[in-house]
């Protein structure tokens, strides 16, 4: 019945249809809370020092490991060409359609070095008046461990991912629900954005969402058939290279990597293409409809199935842990219905070169 049952369950980002009111509320398929307050758009309070400005750019330049520098618009030109997509790694989830390994050829394209930040999304909203789907539904998913007791208690929780709470009034400007704000999150990835919100931002920015093939090629950073954007070892030399969960999921997050929730979009060293956080931090929407059946032969510029019910998400998030989902590998994939919004799901843009 629910669309979520038609594909492997999302590891740590539940779908809109699993949310509050999915079964019995008058809100229908979207499950809009009848009592969900419509958040009023208040002023965006952003700490610009933590934003995408010169300080962040300077910080980026000091880091090593990136093969390419981003242009003034924050994007990197990638040459495209042939790469091996997918994995047959035994660590992978075959049921997710991670395999088979198949040759894919891509034309050159530009991709944002970082996920779209709250600061950039605020500029988009200020310019267009865009109202996000989370605002229209009146709620979004927030990780239970971040919520004060009064919001956590009694919150609707999806059956299979009960560490999520459907929180009335959670949206991108108040990512932990009413009373929260962006404060020093200006340079962090925007979250609580649906596929359509992400696509609208990309159009405004003169681009589009990456195809899944473009995303994976970019994430691999020029390495062939490695497990992570930097190689095969999760923490080379004991160093954390991405923002995922440490400790015991979902009850104890030791935040050894430095972050309990989102990290700044340019945290950690970039991959060989100069791209940040292609593993961990937030899931990223891709353009493609979801399928687990891939043609094994060579493909050029694949765009996925012509129709579907869920859209591809890639990269994993700060909630991913080996014990549960292990989807922060470059070949890992999952999906969600396009109207779904959570506190660990964002996006980045590409442009045709």
Torsion of the alpha carbons at 185, 144, 283 and 342, rounded to the nearest 10 = -80
Q: Which one, 105 or 326, has the nearer CB to Cu ion? A: 326
Q: Which one, 181 or 247, has the nearer CB to Cu ion? A: 247
CB 184 to Cu ion: min, Å: 25
Cα–Cα distance for residue pair 87/276, rounded to 1 Å = 22
Cα–Cα distance for residue pair 99/96, rounded to 1 Å = 8
Q: Find the angle CA(98)-CA(77)-CA(328) to the nearest 5 degrees.
A: 30
Q: Which one, 118 or 243, has the nearer CB to Cu ion? A: 243
3-state secondary structure of 78: strand
Q: Which one, 14 or 270, has the nearer CB to Cu ion? A: 14
Q: Which one, 247 or 272, has the nearer CB to Cu ion? A: 247
CB 192 to Cu ion: min, Å: 17
Cα–Cα distance for residue pair 36/319, rounded to 1 Å = 26
Q: Which one, 36 or 316, has the nearer CB to Cu ion? A: 316
165: enclosing H helix or E strand = strand 164-168
Q: Find the angle CA(279)-CA(191)-CA(19) to the nearest 5 degrees.
A: 105
Q: Which one, 213 or 325, has the nearer CB to Cu ion? A: 325
Identify the burial level of 81 via C-beta atoms within 10 angstroms of its C-beta, where 0-12 means exposed, 13-18 middle and 19 or more buried.
exposed
Instruction: Specify whether the CB–CB gap between 98 and 225 falls below 8 A.
Output: no
Report the DSSP beta bridge partners of residue 280: 243
Beta strands per DSSP E along 73-112: 75-78, 81-85, 102-106, 109-112
Q: Which one, 11 or 193, has the nearer CB to Cu ion? A: 11
Which residue blocks in 186-251 are alpha helix, DSSP H? Answer: 195-204, 212-220
Q: Structure tokens of 73?
A: 């618009």
**End-to-end C-alpha distance for the chain, whole angstroms:** 42
Q: Which residue is nearest to Cu ion (CB)?
A: 320
CB 10 to Cu ion: min, Å: 8
| Pairing mode, strands 252-253 and 247-248 | antiparallel
Q: Which one, 187 or 315, has the nearer CB to Cu ion? A: 315
CB 193 to Cu ion: min, Å: 18
CB 283 to Cu ion: min, Å: 8
CB 11 to Cu ion: min, Å: 4
Per CB under 5 A, residues contacting Cu ion are 11-12, 316, 320, 325, 327
Per DSSP, the residues of 111-159 read EESSPPBHHHHHHHHHHH----HHHHHTEEEEEGGGS-HHHHTT-B--S
CB 316 to Cu ion: min, Å: 5
Instruction: Specify whether the CB–CB gap between 207 and 349 falls below 8 A.
Output: yes
CB 118 to Cu ion: min, Å: 22
CB 320 to Cu ion: min, Å: 3
Q: What are phi and psi of 165, to 5 degrees?
A: -120, 135
């Amino acid at each position: 019945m629910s669309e979520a049952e038609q594909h492997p369950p999302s590891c740590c980002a539940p779908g809109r249809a699993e949310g509050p009111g999915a079964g019995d509320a008058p809100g229908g398929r979207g499950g809009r809370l009848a009592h969900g307050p419509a958040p009023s758009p208040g002023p965006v309070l952003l700490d610009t020092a933590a934003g995408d400005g010169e300080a962040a750019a300077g910080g980026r330049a000091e880091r090593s490991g990136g093969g390419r520098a981003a242009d003034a618009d924050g994007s990197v030109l990638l040459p495209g060409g042939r790469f091996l997509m997918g994995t047959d790694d035994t660590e992978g989830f075959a049921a997710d359609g991670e395999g088979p390994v198949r040759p894919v050829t891509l034309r050159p394209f530009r991709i944002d070095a970082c996920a779209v930040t709250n600061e950039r999304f605020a500029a988009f909203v200020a310019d267009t008046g865009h109202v996000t789907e989370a605002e229209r539904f009146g709620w979004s998913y927030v990780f239970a461990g971040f919520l004060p007791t009064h919001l956590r208690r009694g919150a609707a929780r999806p059956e299979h991912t009960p560490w999520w709470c459907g929180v009335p009034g959670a949206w991108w400007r108040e990512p932990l629900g009413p009373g929260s704000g962006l404060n020093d999150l200006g340079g962090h990835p925007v979250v609580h954005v649906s596929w359509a919100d992400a696509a609208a931002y990309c159009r405004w920015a003169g681009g589009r969402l990456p195809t899944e093939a473009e995303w994976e090629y970019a994430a691999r950073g020029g390495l062939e058939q490695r497990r992570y954007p930097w190689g095969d070892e999760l923490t080379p030399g004991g160093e954390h290279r991405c923002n995922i969960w440490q400790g015991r999921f979902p009850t104890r997050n030791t935040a050894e990597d430095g972050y309990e929730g989102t990290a700044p979009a340019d945290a950690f060293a970039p991959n060989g293409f100069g791209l940040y956080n292609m593993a961990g931090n937030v899931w990223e929407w891709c353009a493609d409809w979801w399928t687990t059946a891939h043609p094994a032969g060579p493909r050029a510029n694949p765009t996925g199935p012509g129709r579907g019910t869920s859209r591809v998400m890639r990269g994993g998030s700060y909630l991913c842990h080996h014990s549960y989902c292990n989807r922060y590998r470059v070949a890992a994939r999952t999906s969600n219905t396009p109207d779904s919004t959570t506190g660990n799901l964002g996006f980045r843009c590409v442009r045709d070169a």
